[in-house]
Structure 1
Amino acid sequence: MLWDNQSLDTRLDALRRGKPRIAWLYEKRDTSTFRYRCFNPPATLEKMRPDIGAAWFERQDIPALIKELSGIDVLVICRFRYDAELARLIVAANGAGTRLLFDCDDMVFDINQVHLVLDTLDQPTDAEVHWDFWFAYFGRMAATARLCEAAITTNEFLAARISQAFPYLPVHIVPNYFAPDQEEVSRALLAAKRKRGFQGTGDITIGYFSGTPTHNKDFAIAVPALARLMAENSSVRLRIVGFPPPSEALQPSMDRVEILPLQDPLNLQRVIAEVEINIAPLQDNLFTNCKSELKFFEAAAVGTWTIATPTLPFRHAIQDGVTGRLARAHEWDFALAEAIELVSKPEAYAEIAEKAASDVYDRYGSERQVDKILAAVGLG
């Protein structure tokens, strides 16, 4: 991953470069929460506000972080499960007068919702070990939240869930958004599509960018319509990036299904730009309404049309029929047929793609987030 090149010394230097100083802590770099919640904010401040000290850290950096606490104004603890090592850091932070904030991008802190989450994520529930793991995961996340002064999250719906679980915690919203490097790459990819007039290569590729191996039931919502479309139209191809969910319905068309491994956040934008239609099917329940809209804005930023389930975040992000399409479970055949028709008209596709791109850069561009970040950490 691209951020592996940032050594601990480099990050400590970034933290010390100015005042105030803000540190973000995550358990371990991964292809999920880390980029948007822990890496992007300090990267944004480094470019937009170089007078502020900001850097990210992970569990193995805690000993070094403890030594820096006397100079750190705010420590944002991102989705970190409580344990003895974190407890030592929190005690030291309290002693140093460092404010502690809890950042969470999923409903993984309320044990009352464990069963719903396991069902949504298609996780096994047939043995005690599974229940032990997930109840411990949620409980330890809640233990971390209770030791913080305020919370930060991605949208209003999840903010309300945090407020319900922890009524004493003020909650601020910093949406998932593009860091400067993601935005730069995305604008270049959009410019390349604009130069060729959004003309395709003949085949039409639909992309599904799953990210984690927990979306079997989500993908299944769109599979029947996808299978019918691919059976009827031999020019339609499917690209799956990440973890391909099992699907018997697609087997007859598997010669037109391309499966790619997980991509780093910058190359992912290229892979999304290469498809004409992006799909983001989700089950519609309490847990999925807490999910952010990033699958839409990642695609719109590179000029790719999106069809998504109308969860609250997608309804807030997408102007239905204008910047993307919202499709309930029974509407996927129509939405896919409409998208295929749109792709066949490059001028119409270009007009819509430009509108969607302009909208997401205005709402999810890095420059727009600086004030939100500073307000959320109490420094605005």
Structure 2
Amino acid sequence: MFIFNPLQDNFQNFPIISPFEVRFKALIQKEKRVAYFYENPDNSTFRYRVYNMIEALSTFEDISASFFHNGDLDSLDKVIDHCDYFVICRSRYSEKLSRAILKAKFKGIPVIYDVDDIIFNIDYVHLIVNTLDQDLKDPNVWDFWFAYISRQEATLKLCDRSITTNSFIANKLREKTGKPVSIIPNFLNQEQINISNKIYQQKLDNKFSRDDSIYIGYFSGTPSHNRDFEIVASPLVNLLNEDPRIRVMIVGYLNIKGELGNYSSRFDIYPLQHFLKLQELIGKVELNIVPLQDNEFTNCKSELKYFDAGIVGTVSIATPIFSYRQSINDGNNGFLANSYEWYEKIRNVIDNLDQYSEFAQTAYNDSLTKFSWLNYPNVIRNVIFNTED
């Protein structure tokens, strides 16, 4: 584990939901106005696809943006009367939302659907349910997922165009709708960069000094990654068995089962963290592992687990799904591992820790260069306003 001084632990709760009138006032501050809608603001999709976008747009002198949610459905008429663009992020069809969409279209306001997963096409329900390790025999599971995805699909169909995170999922959207699709990747916001730079600088100043343990980190985030983790279960058993220095850090939800249960004393398990506190935990581990099943659902995922780790100088090993093939140059700024390569790839990093700082610095520089929010205000503006520089 890397040694550095702990950072502040008194982060404000996220997200902070101000009263409607405060968020409405933020919307109407400037000449050009972008209203975002997201059902229930959270610490994952909302942060990357709404919060970060609004922060980036706020840097323009003539653009203001704000977000609204299910608690504001009765006030959406007022929002539509005062916005120029209406962006709906990953939200299910409802009577009140559909009424707002139709009003916007009647007024000539572009309505845009933003999504980061293939949760808009019922043809993929079985694949999604299976990938997420849901109970295939439970009719309630099928009822939930068919309803959830059908309602997302209904919202998508009402929108004029869509925005997503990479070209793989963009092609899925084009196939589904036949409408224009644009790409705005996920990226780091300034708060993440500030806190991560402090962590990374300490690691540099300490010359990447470590204690005697070697931590493999798995930052699952949601309770739906059991099948993904199974990919590395056997390699981890072998590594834990042969090397007493190795420990595993888990942040989020995960069932430790099978032979791994024999090594439970060497697992450090944390609940979900504030996104800034999470950067500190990622910064402590030697390896950030991102095992994924390789299918059409997972290939729609973004590369955020790579750059969240890279920006604190932590090296990642990831399954070579589309986004990680695009972002990780194997053996340069991280490593790619097919399902049969995990033991070899992890062992190789552990056996060559004297070279670690080179990989870590390359990953940091790459993450900051490509995934800083500073790269994206113009991209976001041009995509939403449907213009070019």
Whether TM exceeds 0.5 here: the answer is yes
Q: Write the letter of the residue equivalent to 1:219.
A: F
Residues 145-177 of structure 1: per-residue CA shift (max 9 Å, x gap): 11111100010000001111111x100001111
How many matched pairs? 375
Match of 2:65 among 12, 36, 54: 54
Distance in 2 between residues matched to 1:223 and 1:50, nearest whole Å: 51
Residues 268-316 of structure 1: per-residue CA shift (max 9 Å, x gap): 1111111111000000011110111111110001000000000011000
1:20 maps to 2:32: yes
1:353 maps to 2:363: no
Distance in 2 between residues matched to 1:91 and 1:5, nearest whole Å: 26
1:151 maps to 2:158: no
Match of 1:373 among 380, 383, 386: 380
Shift, 1:97, TM fit = 2.7
Distance in 2 between residues matched to 1:83 and 1:278, nearest whole Å: 39
Structure 1 residues 50 and 195: alpha-carbon distance in aligned structure 2, compared to 1, 3 A threshold: farther
Match of 2:228 among 209, 218, 224: 218
Distance in 1 between residues matched to 2:20 and 2:212, nearest whole Å: 48
Shift, 1:7, TM fit = 3.9
Match of 1:292 among 277, 287, 302: 302
Identify the residue that residue 44 of structure 1 maps to in structure 2.
Answer: 56
Shift, 1:5, TM fit = 5.4
Identify the residue that residue 4 of structure 1 maps to in structure 2.
Answer: 16
Residues 15 and 42 in structure 2, CA contact (< 8 A), matched pair in contact too: no
Distance in 2 between residues matched to 1:124 and 1:31, nearest whole Å: 26
Identify the residue that residue 77 of structure 1 maps to in structure 2.
Answer: 88
Distance in 2 between residues matched to 1:69 and 1:252, nearest whole Å: 57
Shift, 1:379, TM fit = 4.9
Distance in 1 between residues matched to 2:62 and 2:361, nearest whole Å: 34
SS of equivalent residue, structure 1 residue 289: helix
Residues 215 and 245 in structure 1, CA contact (< 8 A), matched pair in contact too: no
Higher relative contact order (CA 8 A, sep 6+): 2
Shift, 1:4, TM fit = 1.5
Identify the residue that residue 231 of structure 1 maps to in structure 2.
Answer: 241
Q: Write the letter of the residue equivalent to 1:189.
A: I
Identify the residue that residue 196 of structure 2 maps to in structure 1.
Answer: 186
Shift, 1:376, TM fit = 1.7
TM-score (normalised: structure 1): 0.95
1:253 maps to 2:263: yes
Q: Write the letter of the residue equivalent to 2:314.
A: T
**Structure 1 alignment gaps of length 5 or more:** none
Shift, 1:257, TM fit = 0.1
Identify the residue that residue 240 of structure 1 maps to in structure 2.
Answer: 250
1:202 maps to 2:218: no
Identify the residue that residue 290 of structure 2 maps to in structure 1.
Answer: 280
Identity score, percent: 39
Match of 2:145 among 131, 134, 141: 134
Distance in 1 between residues matched to 2:24 and 2:284, nearest whole Å: 38
Identify the residue that residue 121 of structure 1 maps to in structure 2.
Answer: 132
Distance in 1 between residues matched to 2:271 and 2:19, nearest whole Å: 26
SS of equivalent residue, structure 2 residue 155: helix
Shift, 1:245, TM fit = 2.6
Distance in 1 between residues matched to 2:18 and 2:283, nearest whole Å: 27
Distance in 2 between residues matched to 1:90 and 1:153, nearest whole Å: 19
SS of equivalent residue, structure 1 residue 24: strand
SS of equivalent residue, structure 2 residue 40: coil
Distance in 1 between residues matched to 2:96 and 2:184, nearest whole Å: 27
Residues 187 and 372 in structure 2, CA contact (< 8 A), matched pair in contact too: yes
Distance in 2 between residues matched to 1:342 and 1:365, nearest whole Å: 29
